[in-house]
Structure formats: structure tokens, C-alpha cells
Structure 1
Amino acid sequence: MKHVLLSIFLVISCFSFGQQKEDQNNFFLAETYFRQGEYEKAIQIYQKLYEKSSFNTTYLNRLITCYQETDKFEVAENLLKNKLKENPTQSYLYVFLGYNFEKQHLKEIAKNNYEKAINSLDANGAYGGIIGRLFKDYNLLDYAILAYEKAMESNENSNYNFQIAQIYGEKGDFKLMFESYINLVDKNENYLNLIQRYASKYITDDAENETNILFRKTLLRKAVTKPKDEWNMLLSWLFAQQKDYGKALIQEKALYQRSASDLSDIFSLGKLAFDNKDYEASENCFNFIDKNSFLKEEKIEANLYLAKIAVATKNPNTEKLFQELFKQFGKNQQTIDLQVEYADFLTFQKNQPEKATTILKEALTFSKSKFDKGSIKLKLGDVLVFRGQFNKALIYFSQIQTQLKGSELAQQARFKVAQTSYFKGDFDWAKAQLKILKSSTTQLIANDAVDLFLRITDNEPVDSIPSGLKQLAKAELLSYQNKNKEALQEIDNLFSSKEILINGLVPGEIIYDDVLLLQAKLLIKQEKYLEAIASLEKIIAADNQGFLTDDVYFLMAETYNKKLNDTEKAKEYYQKIIFDHPSSIYLVDARKKYRKLRGDDI
């Protein structure tokens, strides 16, 4: 008997599965006809599907739409009225019915049916979701909002704030959109990350952007009327998007003071500020961590960044700071990153590459992981390039590629191989490495690779005719080695070379702009600011629509602003970026600095 029952069950299951597959295939065919506008053919299939599954609103929706597209409004009306007669509780059908009248321009009858759908939610809020969605699908957005709000009134456990917020966004009513998003978080804190993701579609890095201001004001009002950690979190996130890292830190401190348990968000903020060269805000973050953390590892990491900031800002007490940190934490496995940073400082700021090499070789004795070894070897390679020992450097870079395949360190090492080959004048090998790196998963490495690849391919010699690329590469190497005077001399030689001048180092050539930009940066290092401006003006004179133009304008503005204290000239070049280069990466910084120079209260 058991075997008989099992056989019957298997037969029924197979039949059911086969039927489902057939219905699915028919639906796909009907959808194809529907998308192609062949509504009569689609009707034949949707009718059969709907007869089998009259509860399926997708089938019903498609069938009604096909009737309407073929002017069979009466057929659609009768179908819907019969369904309502059979089951009056299916009040969502009034939305279909109302839209059927609207398609016939019978506005008042349509309105009456829409209102019936809305009013039905007083007795049955369970249909709120489907009625709201149908209104939204028909682009009846105000009715959709009413439906969702009515459903929440009738059932306090329902939450349609997310759907309402999206509709307000579609309507362009950003104030109400943000209020709805924040109300959603107020009801359930788990929506915080989701709200950040959706709000980010409207938030920019410009603090004066209208939607940024609305979001900030909405949060502040909520924070006053109903204090909650989530409002500080969202304000911190907003300020970070706007690169107002100091303001973001105020919010993070407020959160920490309420529950002094986790410093990770302040750490992330400090790193973000450092990466964006807001060293003051970054320093405040890491000083706060150093003061409040009880974990040695956190203190070491925070002080590593404080040392990086000292190096970046050329603090005269940097050497003393490193020695104090080594005295406090020692030279061991935990301070390997600090030792690597110290070696970089010794090489590129103190011009002591031999001492840096000793430091790094000692650090290798502390390393236990292959990644620690990789970071040390990467810096050793940099130091060896600085010393002109290219082949030894390439050995270290190649070891990292072999031992750490697929890692970010391996990609960095490959770029170093390409850069070193470029410095040596081996352009073919450099291009081979850069081609691989152009698709790097690390965006910064990919960008650097593309820049160097284009510099080589755009400027390399053709048919053995000198192009100036070798001289440019040599000048860049000298700049890398902090031999700025020699680098400038190489550029002067390049411009005075008769052979090069005959063959094209003239205004309009890409290499002409590259050489002048390097020259300007070197002159700024030597505090020859007016000469640097003259070099930059030559680039603009040659081609004021070139791909370097916004870089040049921003460098000129910064030089006038910070080095020459010429406010009017600085404003002039910031303004050129604002009005002539609205897609520039410097736009937000240029706007902020222009407003500050103009005296605006930012």
C-alpha cells in the first residue's frame, strides 16, 4: 500500500512540476509578445494563465493592460467588476478599474474608484502594500503616498516609509524624502546602512548643495526633538561625504562619549582625512585615539599616522618624533610599518638612503609574515632606485610579485618595475607591465598605470627620431631623487636641444605640456614661484582646452593663494575651474577656496 501511495505522489509531483514549467514558458512567450506590442497574441496566453491562477496580480495587470492597449476598455471593466462582485474585499481592484476609466479620460469616475481603494484601507490595511505599489506603477504618486500612509495608520506595525521616501525622490520633493528616510531609521535602526546608500544618490561632496543642506537640517531637527545615536552617525557620514572631516569628528566624539567602547569609526575617519590631505582633522582623530585607547596595537597604528602627518607636513620635529616612538614602542614586529615610514623619511626628506637601507634590513629580521617582508622589500626597492641601483631594486620588486601573486603589494611592485624601467629608458618593458596594470583592481594603481602608459605611448620616439621622452624620464628620475637643480637643468637642455626642437618639442605637442608642468613643480619646490607661474602660463597659451588645463589652473590658484598671497589672482584661477571646468576633480576644492577668499561664511 505504501508503495502505491508513493507512486501516486510521484506521478502527481511530476505532473505539477511539468505544469509549472509549461506555465512559465507560456508567461515568457506572452511577455515577449507584450514587449513587442503584439497585444492580441499576448491576450490569448495571459487569459489562459489568468484562468488557472486568478489570484496572480501580475497576470491580471498584464491582461488589463493588453485590453486597454487594444481599446477593449469595456472587456477590462466587466472583468474587474465581476471580480469585485465575487469578492468585494479585493479592494486593490478599484485601482485597476479607476485607471481603466482614466485611460478613457473619465477623470471623475477614475477618481471615485481611486478613493474607494484608499478608503478600503480603514477596514483592511493589509492591502496597503499592493494598493500603494499599483498607484506607483501607474505613476499616480500622490495616491500611492496616501495609500501607504493610510496603511500605516491602520496598522502600527507596518512601515512604508522607505516606499514613501522613494516616491518623494521621484517627485523631486527632497525635504519630505529625507524626512521619510529618517522616520524609517527612527522606527528601525537596522535601516541605517540602507538609508546611507539611497541618500548618497542625492548627496554630493559640496556642502552648499541644496540636498546636502536639506539632509543636514532634517537631521539636526530630529536630533533636537528626539536625540539618538543614529542622527550623529548620519551627520558624521554626511560631513565625511562633504570632506568636512573636522565636523565629522565632532559627531564621532559625541558618540564615543556616550559609549566609550569602539574607536574604529574615528580611526576610519582619520585615514579618510589623511588620504584627502586634511592633515589637521586627521591629526585630531589620531591624537584622540592615542589618548583614549587602552590597546597597544591601536596606539602604535595611531602614532604611525601621526608620524606620516609629520612627514607630509614637513614638521621640523619629525626626527625627534620617530625617536620618541621607537623609545616608547621599540623596534620589533609590531612597529615594522613605523620603521618603513622612518626609512622613507630618511631617504626622501633627509637624503640619507644608506641609513634607510640599514633600517630596512634590520626590519626584515623582525618580519614573520610574507606581507611584512613584502612591504619592507617594496620600500627597499624605492630606496635603491633613489640611490640609482636599478637592478637591485628590480630584484626586490620581482621577488614581491613572485611571492605575493594577486595581492595589492604585488600590483604595487609591478608598477614600481614599470616606473623603474621608465626611468632607465626601457620603454617597451615599462609598457608591457603597465598594460597588465591598467585593469588593476586597485583604482589608484590603475590610474597611475594609465597615466604613465599614455605618457610613454604618446611621446615615444618614432623611426629613431628623438622625441624628448628619454630626457623627460631622466628629469623625472632626478626629481624622484630630490636632485631638483639637476632635473631643471635636464629640462633646460631639452628645450635648448636643436635636434629635439627640429623634430617637435613645440607648443601643441603633449610632451611640451608634460615637460612644462614638471618644470613648474620643480620651480615651486625651489620657491621660484613667479618662474613656475610663467611655465604654467606657457601650457595655457599653447592649448587652453588641453587635458592638463584644470590641473594647471588649480596649481596656479594654489601658488597665488598659498605662496604669493595674491588673493585676486588666486580667485581668478579658482573661478576658471568653477565656470570652465565643471567636471574637474578640483571643482569642490576650488569652490570652497574661492568662497573663503571672497569672504563668504561657509
Structure 2
Amino acid sequence: MTNVRKGVWRMKRELYKLLLMVLLAILPALSFAQGDPITQARIFVEQKQYEKAIDIYKKLYDQNPTNADVYTEYLNVLIQSKDLKGAEKLVGEQQKMRQHHPLSYVDMGRVYLAAGKDKKAEEQFDEAIKFINGDDLMTQQIANAFSTLGRDDYTLKTYERARDILKNPYFYSGPMSRLYAKSGQIEKAINTLLEAGPGQQGMLEDTKATLLEFLGTDKKNLQQAQKTLVKKINEQPENPYYAELLTWLYTQRDDWDGALLQIEALDERNKENGDRLLEFARYAAKEDKYEYAIKGYDAIIAKGAKLPYYSLAKSEKLGVLFAQLQANYAYKPSDVATVQKEYEAFFAEFPQYYTSESIRDYARLEARYANNPQKAVDLLTKALEQPALRKDIAGRVKLDLGDYYILTGKVWEASLLYSQVDKDFREDLLGEEARFRNAKLAYYRGDFQWAEGQLSVLKASTSELIANDALYLSVLILENITPDSNFVPIRRFAYADLLTFQNKDKEAETLLDSLLTAFPEHPLKDDILMQKAELAEKHREYARALTFLKEIHDKHAEDVLGDDAVFKIADINERYLKQNDEAKKYYELLIVNYPGSTYVQVARNRLAALQTGTPAIP
């Protein structure tokens, strides 16, 4: 026998042995399953061969009438088969055997219900409730049994009796309030829940969650809850629990004026010096209710400079004003000027805030919104001179300053600053951000080889944003700098990119148009169209932006920017044009045609929000 044949024979022998072992392992299980009476009985029930199942269960029950599982399944099949006399007899035996067990009375009531004897069923249910003695385990068992039967009325009676015995309104308030709400007794549901809350530590958030669960967005129910809370506050004006709930409820009704009035009254009454107002303003800002956040901060500021939250309120108010400006896609120069004055006055009053993150916002406002990059450079230069400036803030300030140097044409100074941050934060995400900006600066200048070397490392960044941006720029360079490439298009495109970054939009667009004319079929065409779309969007020329994006979708759908174009079409339709049907169409298109896109999850969320009539973006 050759070595090959011997090897094959050995393999077959090992395979046979393995199969034999598997068979030996599963045969006992198979034979057990076939020989196990209760398994066979369950099979008969599934096949609706009830008589055969009953015969097996009767034998098993007679052998061990205390086996709860056998008893329960036996009773179930008797009721299913309409053998109600047999079921009544079975439960009667259990009641004699288990004279102090309430569940047998629930079972007998179940049999009577099946027989249409509702009065007799309720007599049995009442007997079961008499067993409640305050023991939580027994209470829960009886409540669960009634709940399984769909008898919410008796589930409530169970909890009510247990609570009366315990003389404690806090017990079972959650399930009881839900049951009251389910039966349409909203006022009773609210009262039950509210009576329990103040006596238990940390109940506020649980109470909010339960209220939301059964109130939903129903205006009538929300109004009833508000009425009940006002009554509670009048009864217990010193109790902050009800007042906090009422404030929260105002916001749920989108009555932010009412919430603010309530907060101001509480803050004054409890002499909190603006503490509660500060939380309200932050919550309003988080919910993009900028107007009410500003009112909240103004209320704190109005209390005077001597109080502890004065400077903090002014600082946080600036952040909200800037966020409001950024969210206003139709802002005017006068809007920018208003925010500028607020920042200028604040830093004159509190120069110590040059060491805070607020200075970065102020500089960004000047550079990006007021078109005054030199003022931004001056502000950040002054910030870096502050001895108390934290190292991490200094790093971010330097990155911003590098960007504004580019805006003023000081490219070399920008590169030096990026390199400093790279060196100071070598193992930090801040260092990776600095390396990416330096790589992009090299790309702007046409030093593609050096830029690509940096980008190839950054593609593995722990920051998804940096990794994605590095990947896109790397692909853009590699596709256009092959040895036989004409370098003119990529150099011009990179320079147009720089002009766009510097807010020289007309010059950038002229250069992009010349590229399209000179190289109409160049691989950069989809990138050029995307750049033009972004410029159009920046200047609120949404129809033009859509024209360029749709051309990418129609002619370059398989290229790297295909999914970007589809997402931007949907976004513009939803955000600016309020064409929700068109937005839904393109979100669906993105999800189906680009399942691997980084935009898919955002598209799913927005599509779901549009379909339910609750847009995901303001």
C-alpha cells in the first residue's frame, strides 16, 4: 500500500470513529426524548390530540400530585380540550391538598371563567385575595396569576390589599399607576405615582419615566398631570419634588415660558442664587431651545455680579448665542455684529477667560463669520501669552491659530504651529489632528508625496473622523499622481481647495470652472462637482448645490463620493428646503444602494424621524 493510500485509509478510519462517537452521544438523548412521557404529552398537545395527552398527564399526576409543572400542564390541557368537569375536579383536589395556597383558588376561578360562570369565578378570586398578608412573594405570585389571566381589575385589588396591610403608599405604586392608566383612570394613576415619589430617594427620574410611559404626548393627559401637580404644590409648597416635576412637565408640553416662570419662582423661594436656573438654561440649550436658555442665563445675570453664578452664566450665555448663530442658516451681518459685541464686552469684563475654551469660540466667530481672521489671530496670540493657560487648551488654540494663519496667507507659520502640537501631544488624538492638518497643508502646497506619507499612517487613527478624512485625501492623491499622470489638474484642484479654506470663494469657483473646461473627463470631476456643491450650499444657493450633487449621483454613483452626494441631497431637502418626501426618497436610496456607507445609521435615524413626523434635525 502506498503512503498516499495509507494516509487516505487512516483519514477514513478516523472519520468513521468520529461519526460513531457522535451517534453514541446523541442516541441516548433521542431515545430519552422518545421515551420521556411528558415530552410525548406535549407533542400530543401541539398536535391537538388531547385525549392521548390527558391519559399521559393523568398517569403522571397520579404518581406525584405535588409536581407543580405536571399539575399546571394537566390543567391547561383539560381546559383546552373543554373537559371543564375534569378540570374542576383536578383543582378541587389541589385545594384540599394545599388549603393555604391562594393560587389554587385563582385556578378554580379560571375554570369557572372558561365555563362562563363569571360570578363563581370572582368568588374564587376574592378567596385568593384574602390570603394576602403583606408577604411580597405571595403578593407578586397572585398579581402575576391574575395578570396572566388578563384580569387587571384583580391584579389591582391584589396590590391595593397588600398596600393597605403594609400601610405604605410607596409599595407597588409603579405597577398600580400603570394599571390605573391602562384602565383609563389617568387621574388616579397620576396621584398614585406622585404620592409615592417624595418619600423615596432617587425616585424623580423613575417617576418621569413612568409618567412618560402612560401619558405619552396626549395633551389632555398632560394637562391632567399638570393640574394634579399644581394641587400637590399648593398642599406642600415646601416640597421641591413636585415643583421639579411640574417644571419638567412644562417642557414636555413645549411650554418653556411656563417652565421658566416656575423655575424662577422656585429659585427665589428657596434662595438658590440661580442654581436651579443654571440647570434649566443648560437643559434648554441641550434641547436647542436657545431663546429660553438665554432667558435663563439672563435671569441669573440680573441677580447681580455679587452672586456666585454671575460670570459662569455670562460665559455659558456666549456659547448659546454662538450656537444660535451657527444654527441660523439665514443669519445676517447684523446678527454676527450683535454676538461680536457680547464677546467683546465679556472679555473686557473678565480677561481671565482668555484661558478658557470661550476664547476659541470668539476667535472662530471673528475668522469664520465676521471675515476678520487677523482679529482671530490677535485673540489667540493673546491667549497663548496667558501663564495660567492649560496645556490641552493651548494645544487646541495653536491648531486654531494655525488655521487662521492659513486664512491670512502665513502658510509656513501654520505648519510650524501644527508641528509644535504634533510634538507636544505625540501619543494623543490632538497630535493626530495636528499631523492631519500638516498633511493637508502639504497637499494644498502641492507636496503630495510627503502628504501621502503622513496620511497612510493616519488612516489607522483611533478617531473615526480623522481616519475617514485621511482615507479620502489619500485616495484623492493616489488616484491622481501616478507616474504617467498630468499633475496640473490635481495641483489646481488642491489650490482651489486652499482658496475655499481661505474663504476666497469666487476665486476658488473660477479655478474649478477652468478645470472642468480644460479637463472635462478627468477622474477629478466628481470631486470638482462636490466642491462646487459645497460652495453653493455655503452661499445658500441650494438649487445649484442640488444640480451638482445630482450630477455626481447620475454619472459617478460608483465613485467614492457617490454616497456623500446622495446623503447631501437628502440633507439639503430636509434641512433647508423642507421637502421631506424628497429627503425620504434619498435616505432610502442611500440605505439600499450604499449599505456600507458611514452615513447609513444617520440616514436610518432621520428617515424614521420623518416617517413618524418628528424630524431629527431642527
TM-score range normalised by the length of the shorter chain? 0.5 to 0.7
Partner of 2:129: 121
- Determine if contact 2:439/2:452 at 8 Å carries over to the other structure: yes
- Kept in 2, the 8 Å contact 1:162–1:181? The answer is no
Q: Distance in 2 between matches of 1:268 and 1:472?
A: 48
Residues 1:515 and 2:523 aligned together:
no
Query: In structure 1, what is the equivalent of residue 525 of structure 2?
Result: 505
Query: Aligned-pair distance for 1:274?
Result: 3.5
Alignment of 1:535 onto 2:545: yes
2:230, 2:246 within 8 Å by CA — same for their partners in 1?
Answer: no
- Whether the aligned pair in 2 keeps the contact of 1:192 and 1:230 (CA below 8 Å) is yes
Give the counterpart of 1:226 among 229, 232, 237: 232
SS at match of 1:584: helix
Alignment TM-score, normalising by the size of structure 1: 0.65
Separation of aligned partners in 2, 1:242 and 1:476: 47
Structure 2: distance between partners of 1:267 and 1:432:
44
The partner residue of 1:252 within 263, 272, 282 is: 263
Deviation at 1:148? 2.7
Conserved? CA contact 2:232–2:242, under 8 Å: no
- Structure 1 residue 216 corresponds to structure 2 residue 222: yes
- Contact 1:249 / 1:285 at 8 angstroms: preserved in 2? yes
- Contact kept, 8 Å, 1:381 with 1:392, in 2: the verdict is no
2 CA distance for matches of 1:77 and 1:492? 89
Corresponding residue number in structure 2 for 1:354? 377
**Residues 108 and 586 of structure 1: CA distance in aligned 2, closer, same or farther (over 3 Å):** closer
Name which of structure 1's ranges 217-226 and 116-125 shifts more when overlaid on structure 2: 116-125
CA distance 1:457–1:278, shift in 2 (3 Å)? farther
SS of match in other structure, 2:266:
helix
1:339 and 1:216 map into 2 onto residues whose CA distance is: 43
Task: Tell whether the 8 Å contact from 1:415 to 1:434 is kept in structure 2 after alignment.
Answer: no
How far residue 381 of structure 1 moved from its aligned partner, in angstroms, is: 0.8
Question: Helix, strand or coil: the match of 1:379?
Answer: helix
Tell me which residue corresponds to 2:206. 194
Cα-to-partner distance string for 1:512-570 (whole Å, 9 max, x where unaligned): 7743541222323xxxxxx443222453576599323331113442xxxxxxxxxxxx6
Partner of 1:326: 347
Alignment of 1:7-26 (within 5 A): none
Deviation at 1:193, TM superposition (A): 0.9
User: Which structure 2 residues correspond to residues 415-564 of structure 1 after superposition, within 5 A?
Assistant: 415=433, 417-418=435-436, 421-422=439-440, 424-425=442-443, 426=451, 429-430=454-455, 433=458, 436-437=461-462, 448=465, 452=469, 462=479, 464=482, 478-498=499-519, 501-503=521-523, 505=525, 511=527, 514-524=530-540, 531-539=541-549, 546-557=566-577
Cα 1:130/1:590, change in 2 over 3 Å: closer
Of the structure 1 ranges 255-264 and 372-381, higher mean CA displacement relative to structure 2 is found in 255-264
The residue number in structure 1 matching 2:194 is 185
CA distance in 2, matches of 1:216, 1:68: 45
Contact 2:277 2:296 in 1 (8 A): yes
Task: Name the CA shift for 1:485/1:133 in 2 (closer, same or farther; >3 Å).
Answer: same
Q: Is the 8 A contact 1:332 1:366 kept in 2?
A: no
**CA distance 1:263–1:212, shift in 2 (3 Å):** farther
Whether the 8 Å contact between 1:179 and 1:218 is mirrored in structure 2 is: no
* 3-state SS of paired residue (2:352): coil
| SS in structure 2 of the partner of residue 548 of structure 1 | helix
Q: Tell me, in whole angstroms, the C-alpha distance in 1 between the residues paired with 2:336 and 2:419.
A: 34
Quick check: 1:584 aligned with 2:606? yes
Q: Give the match's secondary structure for 1:551.
A: helix
Please list the CA deviations of residues 36-62 of structure 1 after superposition, one character each: whole Å capped at 9, or x if unmatched. 996579999xx99xx99x8xxxx84x4
* Contact 1:232–1:254 under 8 Å retained in 2: no
Of the three residues 116, 120, 123, the one matched with 1:112 is 120
Q: Which residue identity does 1:237 align to in structure 2?
A: W
Q: CA separation in 2, counterparts of 1:337 and 1:95? A: 66
Return 5+ residue gaps in structure 1 as ranges.
1-28, 204-209, 439-445, 525-530, 558-569, 597-602
Whole-angstrom distance in 2 between the partners of 1:118 and 1:416: 75
Structure 1 residue 256 displacement after superposition: 1.8
CA contact (8 A) 1:479 1:522 kept: no
Q: Which moved more, 1:420-429 or 1:67-76?
A: 67-76
3-state DSSP of counterpart to 2:117: helix
Instruction: Give the alignment of 1:304-323 within 5 angstroms.
Output: 304-312=315-323, 313=325, 314-323=335-344
Q: How far does residue 260 in structure 1 lie from its aligned partner after superposition?
A: 2.7
The superposition leaves residues 270-308 of structure 1 with CA deviations (integer Å, 9 ceiling, x where unpaired) of 234445554322211211222237776632221112333
AA partner of residue 503 (structure 2) = N
Q: Deviations over 1:384-427 (max 9, x none)?
A: 1231345334335435645xx7xxxx556645654664565446
Please name the residue that 2:448 is paired with: none
Question: Residues 367-406 of structure 1: matches in 2 within 5 Å?
Answer: 367=389, 372-388=390-406, 389-398=413-422, 401-402=425-426
Q: Which amino acid in structure 2 is aligned with residue 523 of structure 1?
A: H
Q: Could you tell me which amino acid in structure 2 is paired with residue 116 of structure 1? A: Q
CA contact (8 A) 1:414 1:433 kept: yes
Range that drifts further, 347-356 or 472-481? 472-481
Q: Where do 5+ consecutive residues of structure 2 fail to align?
A: 1-28, 43-55, 326-334, 407-412, 444-450, 555-564, 588-603
Shift in CA distance, 307/550, structure 1 to aligned 2, threshold 3 Å = same
The residue type equivalent to 1:193 in the other structure is E
**TM-score scaled to structure 2, two decimals?**
0.63
Matches within 5 A, 1:49-64: 60=68, 62-64=69-71
